[in-house]
A = this chain, B = another copy of it.
Amino acid sequence: MAADHVSLRRNNLSVVLRHVRAAGPRSRARIAADTGLNKATVSSLVAELVERGLLREGQAEIERGALGRPGQLVELDGSSVCGVGAEINVDYLAVAALDLSGGVVLEHRVPLDVAHQDPSTTLDRLADLIREAVAAVDARGGQTAGVTLAVPGLVQSATGSLKLAPNLGWNEVPVVDEMRARLGDPAYPFRVDNEANLAALAEYSELKKDTGNQADDLVLLTGAIGVGGGVVSDGHLLRGGHGFSGEVGHMPVAPAGRTCGCGRTGCWETVVGLTTLLNKATDADDPVRDPSLDVERRLAEITRRAEAGDARTLGALADVGTWLGIGGAILVNILNPDVLVLGGYFASLGPWLQEPLESAIRDRVIAPEGGGCRVVQSELGFAAAVRGGAQISLDQVFLDPTLIGRDATGVAQ
């Protein structure tokens, strides 16, 4: 809370660094004009950020044709710092490493039937993947700013423990401690977070990249066997008092519906989950239903049928889209996001879900003009969570550039 010269400097370093990220390569003079800082101050700040390896002098001189002395472009230096994201999900493990400028250094996914493994075995495999990612960062001459693990369950961020992950069959696993031990107590911070939260963060970054500014309120729906929700409100991740926010899968929206894994009837999951879609769209002996098949392959087949105009498939998709809208409207009324992002399997099948979904929302939202809520399909799809994990580690650096290089006050957990 209390601020001194050091935090003042830290703040302004962060302002400059984030401005370059948000607005792209720029001359010092331009940064000064944009941020309101003095030219001299910006020079000093940029010099320090260059020294820390976070910014670099741009190769290009500047756009021609302008009057006066051309400026020296300053841009993000992707070479020195990377964030690593990892993910444990029902049927795969994944890692990704992003550099400071958002470039993908590495992305790796391996299929694994996590639910039928011992957690310990899964964590061993994951440790291998993370070591591989960190090695790739090292090989590039970079430093790992942090690793964040995404899990489909309830996470207590403070203690780094996974309280409950029904779809994995995990319960009270101290994932951070377990992983830190496996990785030999690494210097970089290691965090866990909910999969949907991290995916929401990744989508938020993506949105910022595309639309420039505006839109600081976003809801992400991740569709898989279960349904997860991630909420970004006013640019901040909504975590809730104990970090258990976004549990939207069990909203009772269809009292006449199927029995849910949680024991109750009519949960949202039971009408929009992937299993339900497949049951509606196919016969019991249809090979697409085979649970041992890769999810992406099953989705590809559904997509093919939809494109071919198969009536039953289209009907099932329209049905899911409508139910998605019925639950979505609840979220929109409560949270009033600017954007509702369809992630996970909803993204793959977005083209057929979007129309019925939007119409269902329009019918149910109180705020004028549907609360101004746009519905978009995720471009990241199933990769959103790992990306978000890498992103969140990088965000720490953007918030406090002094974590990196020079005096490096300590890669504080």
Contacts and interface: CB of A to CB of B under 8 A. Distances in A.
Interface of A: 1-5, 8, 11-12, 15, 35-37, 154, 163-164, 215-217, 229, 231, 233-234, 236, 238-253, 255-256, 262, 264, 326, 329-331, 333-339, 363-364, 366-368, 371-373
Across chains A and B, which 7 residue pairs bring their CB atoms closest together, nearest first?
A: A240-B336, A241-B338, A217-B241, A244-B367, A245-B336, A244-B336, A247-B333
B15 A336 contact: no
A241 B367 CA distance: 11
5 contacts: A1-B36, A240-B336, A241-B372, A242-B372, A264-B364
A368 B247 CA distance: 12
B35 A247 contact: no
Majority secondary structure of chain A interface residues (helix, strand, loop or mixed): loop
A15 B3 CA distance: 9
A395 to B, nearest CB: 16
A341 to B, nearest CB: 13
Contacts of A238: 233-234, 238, 335
Contacts of A372: 241-242
Given A240-B337, A241-B337, A333-B250, A366 B262 contact: yes
Nearest to A337: B241
Nearest to A239: B234
Given A241-B338, A247-B366, A247-B367, 14 more contacts: A1-B36, A2-B11, A2-B35, A3-B12, A217-B240, A233-B238, A233-B240, A241-B372, A241-B373, A246-B336, A252-B253, A264-B363, A331-B334, A334-B334
A85 to B, nearest CB: 23
A337 B164 CA distance: 18
Contacts of A373: 241
A121 B215 CA distance: 38
Nearest to A266: B255
A4 B217 CA distance: 29
A366 B241 contact: no
A36 B36 CA distance: 29
A164 B35 CA distance: 37
Contacts of A231: 334
B2 A12 contact: yes
